[in-house]
Structure 1
Amino acid sequence: MSSTKLKNKFVRFFFIYLILILFAIFTLFPFYWIFTQSIKNPKDTISYPPKFTFQPTISNYQKVLSKPDFIESFVDSIEVSISSILLTLLIGAPFGYCLARFVYRGKEDMAFFVLSTRFMPAVVVVVPLLRVFKFLNLVDTIAGLSIAHILVNLALVVWLSRVFFDSVPREIEEAATIDGCSTLKVLTRITLPLAAPGLLSVAVLSFVFSWNEFIFSLTLTSIQVRTLPLYIATSFVGSYAVDWGSLSAAGMLAILPTVILLLLVQKHLVKGLTFGALR
């Protein structure tokens, strides 16, 4: 290989890695900033210019974890996220299977209608939903907020599960049917296990969206239920000052469940997201 080609290859890789490094810095810097703010003392958090060298402290984490309201909000977020995921999968996965396997009039129109709910901003439906929930006594309850979160995740679950089910070869299901399996047995014993990586990735994405949801939590809850996004947004901002250290510590603690979950299922998540890419 000539020196000119080697030089051109080096320059190309240099610029590619430079762009990737700059993108990584741009993406990760907010997390670095929040973390450093969470281990600063109150004076350092508001210093100008910002201090990049300081004496770290864990007092902000101790302060946040000592608050019963934070623990209660953490538990509320877990309960709402898990229950909403289970409800969404219970409704959306069979719906996606029907869209993938059966032919009937209006199937594509129904699928597009479900997808259109994802286009609609939450603020459009939150007031009608509030009036319905007041009538049903579901305001400020785990059950009501979980049902509201179905609107956030249902379209995602239906459309992605449709793709995953459609990627399972029909011949396997036909062979099981010939052997005497009913449609329900084919779904539970064959199709679901084969599509499990894809459904796991859907569940993880649904958990992230539900964990971070704010508008429904702000409108449909008040005292009995308060998820972490709402708690963080309202508990550290005073009339005259913001407790940046505690706010940053609470933010770091709030992202821990999603980070741990993604680390635990990252192999299955990558497999699920690429499920059906090659057939």
Structure 2
Amino acid sequence: MTRLRATLYYGILWLISLCFFAPIGWIVLSSFKTQNEILAMPPKLLFSPTFDNYRALFANDGIFKQIANSVFLSLGAVIVAVVVSFLAAFCFSRFKPRGTDFLMFLLLSIRMLPGPAVILPVFLMYVAFGWKDSHLWLLLFYAMFSIPFSVWILKGFLDGVSTRYDETGLVNGGSWMHIIFKVVLPQVRPGLIAAFIFNLIFVWNEYLFNFIIGGVNTQNIPYALMVGTYSDGGLNWTFISAMTSIYMVLPIVFIFIFQKYLLVGMTFGTVRGEV
């Protein structure tokens, strides 16, 4: 009876997983089909794969620049955001400045604002200062937008690290830099990775600000998907399927590599001992 129950349990889990991953599998399979095969009814499950969609995609020189922009902006912005957020979260957790609770609420409320609510003043500021269509300033904007959520995640982890670690380090002559980066940081690694992945997904998928305050030099993959979706008066499904398949690679790779830490980070669950 126990074996039957386990079989049913895992069978249901596999069924649910397949339901969630079926659209992903379908778009990847479609990237190896012709336009007629993609639109065929009933759908064609058996077909001769073709790489023509990918050849046509990479025949456009601009696509390499857009992929490079997405990688640079996403990784650069998230790395900056995580470093700044870790230091800010350490300050909030250890030194508890006056109004910490209000400041934490204020940080989270900033992230609650929808993009269209702030796009006009941001656009006017970027135009006035000559920051439009700049990799650096767009990267810093994404970092700024990623910091509030990262601070919330990391403060929760840092609150769970006993202050005895800090006290022991100070008593033994360690500097604050040593305590922060050598003693405390390794214990909140799951939180750092969780913040990194969540913000990477946000920046990787961001389109509105790239379109408004970016430009020709900073176009990313979502921008490429938008401008290439329609062709010859209809949806260009071969382009969409091929581009989407490439688009999913980076997030899937990072999630697969760090899945163990990501699970802990999502649940804010860490096991720590006392000094």
Say whether the fold is shared (TM-score over 0.5).
yes
Quick check: 1:40 aligned with 2:33? yes
Cross-structure match for 2:194: 201
Task: Write the distance in 2 (CA, Å) between the matches of 1:218 and 1:135.
Answer: 17
Higher mean Cα deviation, 182-191 or 93-102? 182-191
Tell me, what secondary structure is at the counterpart of 2:217?
coil
Quick check: 1:49 aligned with 2:61? no
Question: Are the equivalent residues in 1 in contact too, given 2:264–2:270 (CA < 8 A)?
Answer: no
Q: How many residues align?
A: 272
Cross-structure match for 2:218: 225
* Alignment match of 1:143 (pick from 136, 142, 159): 136
Task: Write the distance in 1 (CA, Å) between the matches of 2:136 and 2:170.
Answer: 38
Question: Are the equivalent residues in 1 in contact too, given 2:57–2:243 (CA < 8 A)?
Answer: yes
* 1:207-235 CA-partner distances (Å, limit 9, x unpaired): 12211112211222231210101111212
Question: Are the equivalent residues in 1 in contact too, given 2:228–2:239 (CA < 8 A)?
Answer: no
Cross-structure match for 2:172: 179
Question: Are the equivalent residues in 2 in contact too, given 1:100–1:166 (CA < 8 A)?
Answer: yes
1:191 Cα deviation after fit: 1.2
Question: Are the equivalent residues in 1 in contact too, given 2:53–2:238 (CA < 8 A)?
Answer: yes
Amino acid at match of 1:183: W
* 1:115-144 CA-partner distances (Å, limit 9, x unpaired): 111211111111111111111111111122
Amino acid at match of 2:148: A
Identity %: 23
* 1:119-178 CA-partner distances (Å, limit 9, x unpaired): 111111111111111111111111222122124421221011111212222111111111
Matches within 5 A, 1:130-169: 130-169=123-162
Amino acid at match of 1:163: G
Tell me, what secondary structure is at the counterpart of 2:231?
coil
* Alignment match of 2:18 (pick from 25, 38, 53): 25
- TM score, norm. by length of structure 2: 0.90
* 1:76-109 CA-partner distances (Å, limit 9, x unpaired): 0111112211221232111111111112321100
Amino acid at match of 1:103: K
Task: Write the distance in 1 (CA, Å) between the matches of 2:186 and 2:12.
Answer: 40
Amino acid at match of 1:155: P
1:41 Cα deviation after fit: 1.2
Amino acid at match of 2:202: F
TM-aligned CA distance change 1:236 to 1:103, over 3 Å:
closer
Task: Write the distance in 2 (CA, Å) between the matches of 1:168 and 1:66.
Answer: 52
Higher mean Cα deviation, 147-156 or 172-181? 147-156
1:277 Cα deviation after fit: 3.9
Matches within 5 A, 1:1-279: 6=1, 10=4, 14=8, 16-17=9-10, 19-238=12-231, 240-273=233-266, 276-279=269-272
Amino acid at match of 2:191: G
1:273 Cα deviation after fit: 4.3
1:272 Cα deviation after fit: 4.3
Amino acid at match of 1:245: T
CA RMSD of aligned residues (A): 2.2
Task: Write the distance in 2 (CA, Å) between the matches of 1:188 and 1:49.
Answer: 58
Amino acid at match of 1:48: M
Task: Write the distance in 2 (CA, Å) between the matches of 1:12 and 1:240.
Answer: 52
Task: Write the distance in 2 (CA, Å) between the matches of 1:267 and 1:28.
Answer: 20
Question: Are the equivalent residues in 2 in contact too, given 1:152–1:209 (CA < 8 A)?
Answer: no
TM-aligned CA distance change 1:185 to 1:108, over 3 Å:
same
Amino acid at match of 1:135: A
Q: What runs of 5+ residues in structure 1 fail to find an aligned partner?
A: 1-5
Task: Write the distance in 2 (CA, Å) between the matches of 1:232 and 1:126.
Answer: 21
Question: Are the equivalent residues in 2 in contact too, given 1:148–1:216 (CA < 8 A)?
Answer: no
Question: Are the equivalent residues in 1 in contact too, given 2:225–2:243 (CA < 8 A)?
Answer: yes
1:246 Cα deviation after fit: 1.9
Cross-structure match for 1:3: none
Runs of 4+ residues deviating >6 angstroms: none
Tell me, what secondary structure is at the counterpart of 2:45?
coil
Task: Write the distance in 1 (CA, Å) between the matches of 2:187 and 2:212.
Answer: 40
Amino acid at match of 2:154: S
Question: Are the equivalent residues in 1 in contact too, given 2:57–2:63 (CA < 8 A)?
Answer: yes
